[in-house]
Structure 1
Amino acid sequence: MSASQDQDAIAALQSGKDEGQENFPVASWLVRPDARAPVMAYYRFARAADDIADHPEATPEEKLRLLAAMRGGLEGDGPQEAMELGAVCRSRGIDLAHAHDLLEAFEQDCRVNRYQDWDSLIAYCAKSAMPVGRYVLDVHGEDRALWPMNDALCAALQIINHLQDCRKDYRSIDRVYIPWPMLVHAGLGVEALGAERSDPALLSIIRDLTRRTQGLLAQAEGFADAIVDTRLSCEVAVIHHLAQDLCKLLLQHDPLCESVHHTKGQAARLALGAVLGQAARRFFGNRLFGKSIGRV
């Protein structure tokens, strides 16, 4: 098929979801204006590829073909979202591996719909989530020594999404990120995820995975403080704070029948508190230790 036909096919699979509907901020006003466009280029690329992989009616073969077209577009002629990101990466000297790794995760989604254990879930996150934060750090010129904390935070965000959407993912695309041996050990089948409410054993599994996710967030505790760019530091503080609160919701509510998402008002209040707290720590900490305030 031609590049224009691939573009039409990709457009037909798009969900219409945009950055305002995501769980966490995407290139919000906190991000430096010169960094916002490259971050949005990555988001548009990721959104298009994710919609391909998650489409409930497209065949695995069609999905893989279109994801291959996205991969080709990073290097040359192909879908617009891929060509735009490829151009951004080349102009800024950013490694295209961040995009190729993401495509590998979406290709995996077309072939794998069950996971064996926590380690296999983290291995998936290494392709589906960690490259996103690494790309943002590279756009801002941050030290790659921050990658371990970035990786922990990004994996946590991904698993929170999996737990929030476990019923929808099972019902719409027969995909289960909760390790299925955990279900078997509890005497459950994957069909338990399609129920109107969680079996007590399923709820226990979800809460166990949530507590492990809180452990990832603990590993990322100093991430925002270690970032040089002040505005990105505040954005990361917001994301970390939102993730912590979503874990609390997952520990208190049943994602099969109760809301475990923030309303816009709740997210805004939590974000404001995180920004003010991070800005205060940054300002007073720098004054206390005689350090220069990071890039703004």
Structure 2
Amino acid sequence: MNRNNLVLHAKASIERGSKSFARASKLFSRQTRERAWLLYYWCRACDDLADGQDHGQGMSEIANPEKTIAAMRMMTARAQGGEQTGNPPFDAYGVVAQECGIPKKLADDMIDGFALDARGWRPETEDDLLQYCYHVAGAVGCMMAIVMGVSARNHEVLDRACDLGLAFQLANIARDVTEDAEAGRCYLPRDWLAAADIDPEKIMAPERRDALIALINQLCDMAGEYEASARVGAASLTFRSRWAVLAAAGIYGDIAREIKRSDGASLDRRIFTSKGQKLGWIVKAFGQALLNSTRHDRQGLWTRARAV
């Protein structure tokens, strides 16, 4: 499949899988937008393979998760090396990796997150949680920064890009506590649960609902801290990329803010941002991108390990 057709497939994938990201991506220049779609296409495909889903819907049990992860690694490595895999999402990754010089380690780091899920891993500590968030989202933030023109050696900016991925994933975890529990998963650290007197195997117990809501709110507060840090990195981007990133940060950040405002309703219904909220952030982010004066110290925040 040629590049143009891969872009069309990637566009359809992001429009189906994430209306928030699809809307924000329209603010990029054409070249960056297409590359962002190609990267998303691969990320979405890996996520769906790992969870037995179709664009994040209908989670099902994978018969041989280790074999699935191994195949994912093999196809990604082939695509990274410039080979045609015959699998469009992986060929899409190969195109964007070659065009932008995405380091193989970042792709490997993302797949490592799916490997953790495949073996039923659960975080013991907050540091474990953030390490997991790095694998499944922070590494993607770093790749997106490179797609937007940031050098793979500009670790200061990549750390801020990683922070945005962490913020997104923390919001996801806060939103999906009930869905994850129904699938036998829990991403709340065991030491948090112990301190809140919540049985890790019975986190949805009605008598501990208030304690669980407090932990969800803690996740939302953390998401806000990493979102604020990520906004600083946007200052290093071109105007259109900065606008898109700030819009995405606001749109996705509103998910965490809505969860906290819902006072536990997120346990009973899925929280989402409205079309009006999304459009509002696109307008607001335009002004923020023009000002380009955000400052936020990263001191005390979790930081990824650097390969170089």
Report the equivalent of 1:58.
Answer: 62
Candidates 93, 101, 110, aligned match of 1:102: 110
Deviations 1:77-115 (A, max 9, x none): 533321331233224433233322211211221113311
Report the equivalent of 1:157.
Answer: 168
Report the equivalent of 2:180.
Answer: 169
Deviations 1:25-65 (A, max 9, x none): 24621111012222211111111110111122212244334
User: SS at 2:48's partner residue?
Assistant: helix
Candidates 30, 43, 51, aligned match of 1:33: 30
1:45 aligns with 2:45: no
Deviation at 1:124, TM superposition (A): 1.2
The one-letter amino acid of 1:137's match is A
Q: List gaps (5 residues or longer) in structure 2.
A: 1-11, 53-59, 294-308
Report the equivalent of 1:13.
Answer: none
The one-letter amino acid of 2:135's match is K
Q: 1:23 to 1:101 in 2, by over 3 A?
A: farther
Report the equivalent of 2:125.
Answer: 117
User: SS at 1:160's partner residue?
Assistant: helix
Task: Output the CA distance in 1 between the equivalents of 2:267 and 2:158.
Answer: 33
Report the equivalent of 1:288.
Answer: none
Candidates 266, 272, 285, aligned match of 1:274: 285
Q: 1:237 to 1:227 in 2, by over 3 A?
A: same
Deviation at 1:221, TM superposition (A): 3.6
Identity of aligned residues (%): 25
Deviations 1:4-27 (A, max 9, x none): xxxxxxxxxxxx974454274246
1:82 aligns with 2:79: no
Contact 1:197 1:257 (C-alpha < 8 Å) held by counterparts: no
1:71 aligns with 2:76: yes
Report the equivalent of 2:241.
Answer: 232
Between structure 1 and structure 2, the one with the greater Rg is: 1
Task: Output the CA distance in 2 between the equivalents of 1:215 and 1:120.
Answer: 18
Task: Output the CA distance in 2 between the equivalents of 1:197 and 1:261.
Answer: 27
Task: Output the CA distance in 2 between the equivalents of 1:116 and 1:206.
Answer: 16
Task: Output the CA distance in 2 between the equivalents of 1:280 and 1:68.
Answer: 41
Q: List gaps (5 residues or longer) in structure 1.
A: 1-15, 286-296
The one-letter amino acid of 1:208's match is Q
Report the equivalent of 1:214.
Answer: 224
Q: Which has the higher mean CA deviation after the structures are superposed, 77-86 or 37-46?
A: 77-86
The one-letter amino acid of 1:146's match is V
* Cα root mean square deviation, aligned: 2.6
Task: Output the CA distance in 2 between the equivalents of 1:94 and 1:278.
Answer: 28
Question: Could you state the TM-score of these two structures normalised by the residue count of structure 1?
Answer: 0.79
User: SS at 1:187's partner residue?
Assistant: coil
Question: Could you state the TM-score of these two structures normalised by the residue count of structure 2?
Answer: 0.76
Q: 1:197 to 1:84 in 2, by over 3 A?
A: farther
Task: Output the CA distance in 2 between the equivalents of 1:42 and 1:161.
Answer: 19
